[in-house]
Homo-oligomer: A and B are copies of this chain.
Amino acid sequence: MKITIVDVAKKANVSVATVSRVINDNYPVNSKTKAKVQKVIKELNFIPNLQAREVKKRKTKTIGVIVPSVENMFFPEVINGIEQHLMQKSYSLLLSFSKNSEEKEQECVRNLLSRNVAGMIVADVNTTNVESGFYDDLVQSTPIIFINGESSREGFSHVLCDERDGANKALQSLWDKGHRDIYFVRGGSSYSYDVKEQAYRDFLRLQDGEVNEHIVYVGEGNSNQVIDVTCKLMVEKIRQEGCSAAFCCNDLMAIGVLNACKEVGVSVPDEFSIIGFDNIILSKLVEPKLTTIDQNMYELGNQAAKLILETIKEEQSISKKVVLNATFVPRETLAEKKG
């Protein structure tokens, strides 16, 4: 059976209170007794039950983290940034996957809530869940930080990369090279995609003359069937639709497009330019190297972790926002439009 504080107390001939005081070191206790107790703790190899402690104290030291999945290296990088900070402050990380699903995301939230997390970090929140007001009460009572997925809702706290600005940079660089018909490649229902799409629309609208929108929905995830097929479908129509470039919501999609180009025999960047988003490690290892927009993923996570602990400490939920820069990373998939 598990050793408890009572066992220690008995063996050391003191009260449980004293043992508690020794392990928490928050009340004076005679150095001799302290030594005695510590000795017994060592002997019995006693490890305090954090759960019981947390029930008593009515607050936990674990943070729930919700990400869609882990297939896109973007998320592991973010998680890494989160963990680094949490660990340092001796918080734990409870990980859940929302699988790009509205319901799954809600399930995750409820689960974390019942596990009494001190707060949660939600990356790439589902659009519908925000719009429907699912989070509205929640953000009042529980510290939540959203990573990427700005919304102007009351009381939401964010850490985000300036995706709109990033999108603009991508679009502008495409435009400067003479591209006028540009695909916008996105996935399902995530705020992050919506923001970029809005930026895309606005960007086109602001240009002189008539410019056509070309919005393409591809699947999620990782070199999976769906994304491959859709990309191929898209690339096959490049010539007939007269498009010469694509701006993709993330690097994975961009690489999907790139591979499709290879398969179909469209040469990148001579015939077709591609810009991704995120700057995951993969992006500089593919051939040709992917031109992309960097968002500092580690920092995104790290800041989110900082922010959530801050919020927890402050007790009063005041909404905050941290914005990181998106920077253009020139590489090899962007070229002047030919012809």
Contact = CB atoms under 8 A, between A and B. Distances in A.
A115 B44 CA distance: 18
A111 B94 CA distance: 13
Contacts of A94: 62, 92-95
A17 interface: no
A80 B50 CA distance: 27
Nearest to A52: B55
| Pairs A-B, 6 closest by C-beta atoms | A287-B287, A70-B76, A50-B114, A95-B95, A76-B76, A47-B114
A129 interface: no
A49 interface: yes
A48 interface: yes
B48 A114 contact: yes
Given A80-B70, A114-B50, A115-B50, A93 B92 contact: no
20 contacts: A2-B58, A49-B55, A50-B114, A50-B115, A51-B115, A52-B55, A55-B55, A62-B115, A70-B80, A70-B83, A71-B80, A76-B76, A79-B95, A83-B97, A87-B96, A92-B96, A95-B95, A282-B285, A285-B285, A286-B286
Contacts of A48: 114
A231 interface: no
Interface in A240-270: 255
